[in-house]
Amino acid sequence: MGWPKDLAPGVVILAICAALYFVTTTFDSDPLGMAQGMPATHMPRLVLGLIAGLAVLMIVQGLRAGRDSSESGPPWRMWATAAILALCAVLFPIVGVPLAFFAVCLVLPILWGARNYPFVTAFAVAVPAAIYVVFQLLLGLRLPLGPLSILGT
C-alpha cells in the first residue's frame, strides 16, 4: 500500500500556509486599542490557521482511509471547482463578497451532484448572510459589497 493521495496536496498546503504566516509577521502592527475591528495582522493568521487545520484534517482522513496513490487522477469537477473559485476571487471587487459567495454556494453543490434545490438555495443565502454578519458587523471588517453597498451598513 502506498501513500494516500491526500498526503502530498496536504503537505503542500501546509507549506504554503507556513510561508504565508511568516509573511504576516512582517506586517506593521496596530496597537490593539487603536485597531478598528480586528487588527490587520490577525485576520490573515486566522484564515491561514483555518486552512492549515483543514489540511491536517484532510491528511488524517486520507491516512485513516488508506487510499492508495495509484488511483486515477482527479475528476473533472475538481478542475471546474478550482476555476469557479479562481473566478470568484477575481470578481470579489466587482460583484462583492456576498454575491460572489452566493454564486459559489449555489453552483458548487449542483456541480457536485446535489439535487435538493430548495436546500441548496437556502444554503446559498445563509452562507453569505453569515459571512456578512460575522465579518462585517461583528468583527468590523470592511468587505467589498459590490452592488449591495447601496443597502448600507
Q: In this predicted model, what pLDDT tens digit does every residue of 120-150 receive, in sequence order?
A: 999 999 999 998 888 888 877 777 888 877 7
CA distances from 38 to 23, 82, 145 (A): 18, 29, 18
Look at residue 151 in the predicted model and tell me its pLDDT.
67
Contact 14, 69 (CB under 8 A): no
Quote the domain boundaries for residue 11.
1-72
Q: How far apart are CA 145 and CA 6, in angstroms?
A: 35
- 105 and 126 in a single domain? The answer is yes
Cell of 29: 502592527
Among the candidates 72, 88, 110, a domain finishes at 72
- 105 and 139 in a single domain? The answer is yes
Looking at the structure of the chain, the number of domains it has is 2
User: pLDDT tens across 75-104, in order?
Assistant: 788 888 889 989 988 888 889 888 999 999
Contact 132, 143 (CB under 8 A): yes
User: pLDDT tens across 30-44, in order?
Assistant: 665 555 666 667 778
- 127 and 98 in a single domain? The answer is yes
- 8 and 68 in a single domain? The answer is yes
